[in-house]
């Protein structure tokens, strides 16, 4: 753990490019910060119209990206963002699938202007590309393209589009290489090249990218999709200027940011001052043995400001690390979705936040440290929990209290190889996008949403099974909500997904695993709820006679069935409980199974109404064992009815046990 004071840590901030001064940047003038701040405030009606129109433009452009891209991660997972920035790169309007890049993409605009603004210059029709994690995004898969908008010799805005593009030409397929020990192992990183110059596609630049990827087909689709989004937004932006005039559009961009800040500060003022602390963890770095990595989140709210102070150990050897933009982005997954969900997503609501990250820690790593899998996932969880605790202090916000969602990506499986159609490809299985969300309280949502979605990609959608089977060389044996995955509580977390796959129809299929959480319950619920079940180790059943089982019309329907198949056919089970480099699997014989942990709960499980527990048992969310021993609800397994008298006795017995075991902490004496 780093021992740095708050002042010694690095404050995340955004310094405008070129010193914020009025500078000629090729296609026109970049205004100074003073010029931009001196905008003439619009009437409420004009502001409402123009801010809404810009928001619509960003959303329409994002939809264009989603519809052009055929990549499952983008088209179905929704891992795509579109933003409108002011001339210096401060975000003004945002259409967000990927919440974690709410703040993180502005650094790309700054990089372009700082490096290329004066020479060779930035021109109308240029499209720049970046995927450098130390500048923006969190790993090389986060690929951004941006274009400037000039009007009568003045740079008035930037448009930007980001997708998660899986195949980066890293040392393993899929872009998130468990064996990476350097950023150099994680594939190509583009530093602002022009993929389009003055309206002309730069084929040489694009060939550099395509020839560095194992999956040029999906790669070029994503790139073209981002360019399509930029083109759509640019056209709409021109229409807006023609209709309302450039001065009003420029003012709206700035006023939107200021409005976001006003809303954010007002919300903070409505809450009590105080400090909330959360501990969160991951349980592996490299090697066969687990390693506990601990994060402290200290959130202090005073007046209309929020200070987030993080403690974390030094950089990991493996890929569980983050550069500052990525760590800040993961903080903003929680801020954007939990605290300021009703506020326009822009730089304005970032201004009241001061986030301090320890230098040379796994949340703020030195250059060339690998960062394929974000160390800051637990930070999202910690900030979410701290916000939920803070919301109790004002009744107006009780309905928004939300325990952390399932962390996701921690029991993920990637594949690479040849498709059944004969071309090279690789991607991630989409079950990560269908994990349990956190519970609320009585005045809010109550139970978490079962297989509700991925927190950092709120618009994500689990891929259709038939689509996955069409696009990739796998058949699904089962996919369903996992039993006892949700955190038990007065309000339980959402259940997460369980799935089983068999590779099929390809001569070459390899799998990689991002498994963490296999050695300890690394997540916490709120206010007396238990943590959710831990992430399952992924299991690979090898050498089964699956085809023989099919012939007898028996298809395994869960992990227990998979174990039975192995027992009957003499195969073996391989348990994968740490991240794993890609390894080949055998088609029609090997079965891969995984069960994600669930969303977090709220409150004491023995306060849950027996009828709700019964419904969960009937819906196969909760087992009879958990109902009896954790919820204290006695259910007849034959009739599926609650024995209320026995339930009352069981709950009293749980309280008696607590009286026997509970002791005041000795250190307090």
Partner 1 sequence: MRIHYYLDINDETNKIECRKCGHVICDATENYKLHVPRAEVWPDEIPGGRRPPRDKTLLIYYEYYCPGCYTMLDVEVMEPGSPPLWDIQVAPAREA
Where on the chain is the footprint of partner 1 (CB under 8 A)?
Answer: 272-279, 281, 283, 290, 292, 294, 389, 392-393, 395, 398, 441, 483-485, 488, 490, 518-536, 595, 597, 602-607, 622-623, 625-626, 629-630, 655, 658-659, 661-665, 667-668
Closest CB to partner 1 among residues 396, 464: 396
Q: Least distance in Å: CB of 491 to partner 1?
A: 9
In residues, how long is the chain?
669
Question: Is residue 349 a contact partner of residue 337, using CB atoms and an 8 Å limit?
Answer: no
**Pick 112 or 529: Cβ nearer partner 1:** 529
User: Could you tell me the smallest distance in angstroms from the CB atom of residue 661 to partner 1?
Assistant: 4
Kindly tell me which of 146 and 382 has the beta carbon lying closer to partner 1.
Answer: 382
Instruction: Report, in Å, the least distance between residue 47 CB and partner 1.
Output: 33
Nearer to partner 1, 195 or 630 (CB): 630
Comparison of 553 and 663: residue with beta carbon closer to partner 1:
663
Give whichever of 56 and 393 is closer to partner 1, judged by the CB atom.
Answer: 393
- Least distance from C-beta 328 to partner 1, angstroms? 23
Shortest reach from residue 163's CB to partner 1, in Å = 34
Q: What does each C-alpha distance from 130 to 125, 139, 471 come to in angstroms?
A: 17, 11, 28
Which C-beta is closer to partner 1: that of 86 or that of 484? 484
Contacts of residue 352, Cβ cutoff 8 Å, sequence gap at least 6: 261, 264, 265, 268, 304, 305, 306
What are phi and psi for residue 67, nearest 5 degrees?
A: -80, -30
The answer for 553, left when phi > 0, alpha when psi is -120 to 50, beta otherwise, is: left
Q: How far is the CB of 403 from partner 1 (least distance, A)?
A: 10
Residue 490, phi-psi category: left (phi > 0), alpha (psi -120 to 50), beta (remainder): alpha
Nearest approach, Cβ of residue 195 and partner 1 (Å):
46
Comparing CB distances to partner 1, the nearer of 259 and 631 is 631
CA angle in degrees (0–180, nearest 5) for 195-201-207: 60
Residue 491 zone, left/alpha/beta (φ > 0; ψ -120 to 50; rest): beta
Residue 296: Cβ within 10 Å count: 15
Residue 125 or 446 with smaller CB distance to partner 1 = 446
SS3 for 589? coil
429: left (phi over 0), alpha (psi -120 to 50) or beta: beta
The answer to whether residues 365 and 410 touch, using CB atoms and an 8 Å cutoff, is no
Least distance to partner 1, CB of residue 34, Å: 36
**Residue 201 or 654 having the CB closest to partner 1:** 654
Nearest distance in Å: CB 17, partner 1: 40
Q: Distance (Å, rounded) from C-alpha 365 to C-alpha 3?
A: 15
In the bound state with partner 1, the residue whose beta carbon lies nearer, of 273 and 464, is 273
Q: Within 10 Å of residue 663's Cβ, how many Cβ atoms?
A: 6
Taking the complex as a whole, the smallest distance from the CB of residue 431 to partner 1 amounts, in Å, to 16
Taking the complex as a whole, how short is the minimal distance between the CB of residue 164 and partner 1, in angstroms?
Answer: 28
Min. distance of Cβ 88 from partner 1 in angstroms? Answer: 36
Phi-psi region of 169 (alpha: psi -120 to 50; beta: other; left: phi over 0): left
The CA dihedral of 404, 406, 409, 414, to the nearest 10 degrees, is: -160
Instruction: Report d(CA 576, CA 567) in Å as an integer.
Output: 19
Contact 65, 225 (CB under 8 A): yes
Would you say the C-alpha torsion 459, 465, 470, 476 has a positive or negative sign?
positive
Whose Cβ is closer to partner 1: residue 200's or residue 394's? 394
Burial class (CB in 10 A: 0-12, 13-18, 19+), 342: exposed
Q: Cis (ω within 30 of 0) for the bond into 120?
A: yes
Check: CB of residue 171 under 8 Å from CB of residue 100. Answer: no
Closer of 281 and 347 to partner 1 (Cβ): 281
Residue 521 class from Cβ within 10 Å (0-12 exposed, 13-18 middle, 19+ buried)?
Answer: middle
Report in angstroms how near the CB of residue 360 gets to partner 1 at its nearest: 23
């Amino acid at each position: 753990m780093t021992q740095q004071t708050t002042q010694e840590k690095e404050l995340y901030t955004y310094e405008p490019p070129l010193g914020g001064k009025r500078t000629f940047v090729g296609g026109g003038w970049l205004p100074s910060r003073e010029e931009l701040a001196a905008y003439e405030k619009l009437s409420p009606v004009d502001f409402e119209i123009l801010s809404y129109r810009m928001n619509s433009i960003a959303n329409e452009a994002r939809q264009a990206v989603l519809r052009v891209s055929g990549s499952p991660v983008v088209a179905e997972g929704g891992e795509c963002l579109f933003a409108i920035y002011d001339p210096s790169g401060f975000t003004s309007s945002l259409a967000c699938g990927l919440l974690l890049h709410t703040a993180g993409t502005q650094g790309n605009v700054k990089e372009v202007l700082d490096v290329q603004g004066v020479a060779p210059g930035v021109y109308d029709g240029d499209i720049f590309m970046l995927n450098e994690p130390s500048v923006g995004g969190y790993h090389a898969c986060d690929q951004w393209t941006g274009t400037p908008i000039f009007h009568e010799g003045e740079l008035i805005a930037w448009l930007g589009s980001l997708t998660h593009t899986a195949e980066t030409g890293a040392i393993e397929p899929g872009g998130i290489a468990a064996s990476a020990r350097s950023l150099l192992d994680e594939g190509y990183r583009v530093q602002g090249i022009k993929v389009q110059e003055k309206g002309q596609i730069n084929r040489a630049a694009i060939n550099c990218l395509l020839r560095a990827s194992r999956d040029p087909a999906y790669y070029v689709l994503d790139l073209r999709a981002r360019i399509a989004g930029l083109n759509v937004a640019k056209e709409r932006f021109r229409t807006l200027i023609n209709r309302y005039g450039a001065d009003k559009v420029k003012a709206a961009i700035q006023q939107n940011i200021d409005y976001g800040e006003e809303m954010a500060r007002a919300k903070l003022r409505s809450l009590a001052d105080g400090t909330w602390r959360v501990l969160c963890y991951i349980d592996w770095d490299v090697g066969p043995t687990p390693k506990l990595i601990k994060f402290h989140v200290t959130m202090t709210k005073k007046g209309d400001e929020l200070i987030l102070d993080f403690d974390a150990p030094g950089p990991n050897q493996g890929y569980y690390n983050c550069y500052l933009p990525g760590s800040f982005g993961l903080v903003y997954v929680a801020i954007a979705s939990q605290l300021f969900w009703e506020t326009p997503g822009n730089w304005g609501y970032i201004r009241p936040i001061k986030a301090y990250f320890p230098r040379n820690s796994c949340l703020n790593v030195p250059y060339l440290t690998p960062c394929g899998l974000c160390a800051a996932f637990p930070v999202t969880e910690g900030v979410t929990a701290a916000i939920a605790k803070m919301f109790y202090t004002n009744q107006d916000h009780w309905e928004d209290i939300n325990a952390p969602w399932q962390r996701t990506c921690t029991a993920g499986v990637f594949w690479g190889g040849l498709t059944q159609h004969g071309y090279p490809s690789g991607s991630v299985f989409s079950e990560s996008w269908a994990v349990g969300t956190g519970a609320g309280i009585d005045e809010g949502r109550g139970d978490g949403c079962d297989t509700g979605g991925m927190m950092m990609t709120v618009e994500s959608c689990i891929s259709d099974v038939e689509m996955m089977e069409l696009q990739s060389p796998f058949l699904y044996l089962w996919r369903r909500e996992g039993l006892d995955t949700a955190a038990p509580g007065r309000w339980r977390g959402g259940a997460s997904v369980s799935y089983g796959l068999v590779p099929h129809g390809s001569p070459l299929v390899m799998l990689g695993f991002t498994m963490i959480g296999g050695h300890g319950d690394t997540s916490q619920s709120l206010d007396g709820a238990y943590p959710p079940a831990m992430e399952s180790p992924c299991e690979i059943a090898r050498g089964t006679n699956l085809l023989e089982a099919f012939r007898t019309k028996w298809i395994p329907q869960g992990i227990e069935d998979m174990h039975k198949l192995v027992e009957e056919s003499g195969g073996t089970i391989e348990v994968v409980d740490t991240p794993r480099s890609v390894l080949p699997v055998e088609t029609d014989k090997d079965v891969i199974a995984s069960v994600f942990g669930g969303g977090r709960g709220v409150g004491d499980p023995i306060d849950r109404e027996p009828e709700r527990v019964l419904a969960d048992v009937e819906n196969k969310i909760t087992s009879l064992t958990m109902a009896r021993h954790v919820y204290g609800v006695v259910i007849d397994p034959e009739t599926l009815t609650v024995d209320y008298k026995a339930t009352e006795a069981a709950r009293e017995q749980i309280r008696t046990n607590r009286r026997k075991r509970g002791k005041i902490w000795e250190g307090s004496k």
